[in-house]
Structure formats: structure tokens, C-alpha cells
Amino acid sequence: MELIDLTVIQALAGMRSGELSSEELTRAYLARIERLDRGLVQAYLTVTPELALEQARRADARRRAGEDAPLLGVPMALKDLTLTKNVRTTCGSKMLEEFVPIVDATITTRLYDAGAVLLGKLNMDEFAMGSSTENSAYFPTRNPWGDLTRVPGGSSGGSAAALAARLATFTIGSDTGGSIRQPAALCGVVGFKPTYGRVSRYGLVAFASSLDQFGPFTADVSDCALITQVISGHDPLDSTSLDAPVPSYMSELGADLKGVRIGVPTEYFVDGMEGGVERAVHAALDVLRSLGADVEEVSLPHTDYGLTSYYLIAPAECSANLARYDGVKYGYASPDAESMWDSYYKTRGHGFGAEVKRRIMLGTYALSSGYYDAFYLKAQKVRTLIKQDFDRAFERYDALVAPTSPTVAFKLGEKVDDPLAMYLNDVCTIPVSMAGLPGLSVPCGLSEDLPVGLQVIGKPLAEGTVLRVAHAYEQAAGWAGLRPELSH
């Protein structure tokens, strides 16, 4: 097995035994990034070789001194909306092309404290607005599957593609309406959105503050449990952070599913779902039944309203959050403006891409006088109904299981001029985000030689149950370690 094929847990075992060093592993990834990323996968916006090697050598020195830490010496990469002190953070936008933070995000600090090594920052749809990573202001990321002609999903497409192409041992993304789970499904990796508030949002450049949540991309569920353990926990710097104890997620793994009650929401098998995706998900349900789980259909009747309500709430919050980019406080400012108002128009006109402008206009309209009650307030009421659907389902079931995406990875450019078709890619993930629930995508097979994802959904703060179900399925189904040819 090559170094770049090691999981987090395997890499840690090798370093703890002295069979390899963090510097050796880090150099292997940096060489692979140099060879396969720019012009091919295009997952990285910024590579940090000097910092990575410095951190790797420090990790090796700590280990020689008898120290250890949960992720000591493991190379990782972060979605480029994660604040990293002295390392450029662009959010995939020209607006922040030269922005270098003076502080780290809480998640960055926790990963550094655990000993992780930063390889660089990963491409994304601009300000996390998109489902294909084609909305990056710099370049599209390509899915390692499908001869580099397919999208990796979005908005955390760089994070998913980098993991699938073995350009990092694990990566971090963010999920607002499916931006971890959908690209994880399309790239054939594990992606986890914890409960809203379980992981600190301090230092996450905001898109929609009531929905945004950090989470990991990993090669398997065991790695996912370990990374989730490291990044979870209360943070006084984040007013939405939940002050709740973090259990041992690793201890949840390995338990059988006998007697576990699993609901399958019928509404998630939407019109237009590809036949190969539906067949793969039904085959996965058969595996869960064979493991002793009680699998039954359940109805979540307000699911159909999730997409429309999300595309009122999220753009409204986006409109408020992105008002700060005005050419005065920080970020890009138009160099040829003749007045204050001219500067404002030109800065936002040149600095934001088409999709960001579209969502700002949608959100501003929904919040405007005379329309607030008719659109934004009504969408918030529908959000409550969606959450109540889940609450009722979880009175009977321990977890819910559904498709992650209705399709496999589509062609680059196929939907870029059709916003509605693009938005429909998140139809299976948005309701989970609206309710603030934990959701994980795990590979469940192939359709037309492209990965399919199975979504496992849990009660609030039931990350352990989600991981347990996903791990049991993964071990029985045999799809763990699914890799495209590019990664070998």
C-alpha cells in the first residue's frame, strides 16, 4: 500500500510504530499535489508546502520526545472559507482574493492542537453558493471519477475531490444545504454534517448563519468518527455553539444493528431520480435488513417544500452577511471609482460572481418591505413544519436512511446555465439542514461506474448513532476505500 492510500487511522498507526514519519507522509502528498492537482483535479486554491513541512517536522520531534496527540502528524486540507492565520482565505471569490486572516478559526485551532498538518486550502463555489464547484471565481474543480469530465459536487467540491484523489489524508468542508454530503456522494467518500452547533462556526466565513456547519470528509467511517471527535465541542466564541458533552464516537463503532429501527422517507425518492441511484439505495436497505435492523417506510410530508423555503431563507441570510463587502472595510475595492456610490456599485459588481449576485437579489427581495411576511416569514414557518416532521419520525425510529443525491456526478457545464436544475441537486439534503440534524453520506455502490451515496440521518446530537449505522453498513457492504483510477 502506498503512503497516500493510508487512512487516518492507518497513518497514525504507522507513525506511532516508527514505520513512517509525518515528514515522509507530508512530502508524499505534496509531490502528488504537484503532479496531479493543477491542470487536472484542481482541488487546491492555495498549497502551503513550507508550513506543512514545518508542522510535520514538529510533529515528528514531538513523537520522538514521547508525546502523542489524536492527529499528530496527519496531513489535511481545509475548505477555503476556514480562517487560517497568515494563510490566504478567499472563499472562492475575487472579493477576498488577497485576504489573509490574522486569526485561526476554532476548527483550525482544534485540528492544530490535535497535531494535524496543513497542506493547503481547497476550492469551493464562491461563498459556498453552488452544487458543482463551477461557481469558483478561479477555476472549476474536476471529479477524479469519470475521466475528469464530471463535477465533484459543491459547494465543498474541492474538499471532496481532494480526498477522493488522495491529495490529503482527510479534509474539512462546510454544509449549508448539502455542501458536504452531496459532493461526498458524487466523489465516493464519506462526508458528515454534524448537528447544527456541535462544531464551532467561529472563523467560518458566513453564507447563511442559521444553517452553516463544518464537517469532515474521510476515506471511511472510522476516520470520520475520529475527526468528528476532535472538532466537536462547545466554543464560547460562537453564540450558536451547543454546550453539550461530546461522547466517544469511536466507541459507538462495531455495535450491531439488531433491533435498530430505521425509517426510509418515501418523499426522498423524488421524480427524476436516476434508476441506478435508486437501485443502489434499495440494495443498501437490504444490507441493513440483513444486519438485523428493522427497516420501514415513513412519510415526511413537508419535504416537498424544503427546496423552496431554503431558497428564501438562505439567500436572505446571504444578503445580510455579504452586505459587509462594500469596498470600504476590507477585501476588494474597485480601483477606478469616482464616488462613494460608484465604488460600492463597481466593487460588488466586479467582486461577486453571477450566482452570488443572484442569491443576494433573491434574499434582498424576500426581506424587502411588503414581501417579508409573504416570503421570508412564511418560509420560516415551513421550516418549523419540516422540523416537526423529523421530530415525529424520531419518536419511532433511531435513524433515517435515504439517497444523498438523486443523480451521480453530472458533466462539467451541463447545468451551469440552468440554476433551477442545479438547485434540485440538493433536494435530498436540504430538509436535514433546515432541521439542524446530523447527516452523513457513505458510499453505497456505483451507477454507470460513478459513485452513489447513502444518507444516514439522526436525531439532534445523535452523531454516535449515525456513525454506528453508517459503519455497520460500510463494513457489511464492502464499499469502503472506493477509489477512482486517478488515485493509484
179 as an active site residue: the answer is yes
CA distances 43 to 80, 136, 140, 176, Å, are: 11, 11, 8, 20
Number of residues that make up the chain: 488
> What is the SS3 assignment for 392-445?
HHHCCCCEEEEECCCCCCCECCCCCCCHHHHHHHHCCCHHHHHCCCCEEEEEEE
Q: How far apart are CA 334 and CA 341, in angstroms?
A: 11
Active site residue 79: yes
C-alpha cell at 281: 439505495
Of the residues 93, 132, 156, 179, only one is catalytic, namely 179
Rounded Cα–Cα distance for residues 110 and 144 (Å)? 29
Specify whether the CB–CB gap between 278 and 261 falls below 8 A. no
Catalytic, 136? Answer no
Backbone angles phi, psi at 283, to 5 degrees: -65, -35
List Cα–Cα distances, 424 to 120, 338, 344, in angstroms: 31, 42, 33
Q: How far apart are CA 26 and CA 290, in angstroms?
A: 41
At residue 63, φ and ψ (nearest 5 deg) are: -65, -40
Number of other residues whose CB lies within 10 A of the CB of residue 136: 26
CA 88 and chain centroid, separation: 20
User: Choosing from 131, 136, 155, 174, which is the catalytic residue?
Assistant: 155
* CA angle centred on 193, ends 84 and 109, rounded to 5°: 25
Amino acid 157 reads: G
Backbone angles phi, psi at 37, to 5 degrees: -90, -70
- Other beta carbons within 10 angstroms of residue 18's beta carbon come to 9
> If you ran DSSP here, which 8-state letter would residue 328 be given?
S
- Cβ contacts of 24 within 8 Å, gap of 6 or more: 3
Please enumerate, as own/partner, the contacts of 424-427 that have beta carbons within 8 Å and a separation of 24 or more: 424/272, 424/307, 425/131, 425/132, 425/153, 425/178, 425/182, 426/131, 426/177, 426/178, 426/182, 426/307, 426/310, 427/270, 427/306, 427/307
Indicate which residue of 21, 22, 79, 346 is catalytic: 79
Does residue 141 contact residue 164 with C-beta atoms inside 8 Å?
A: no
Q: In this structure, which amino acid lies at residue 419? A: P
- List residues with catalytic annotation: 79, 155, 179
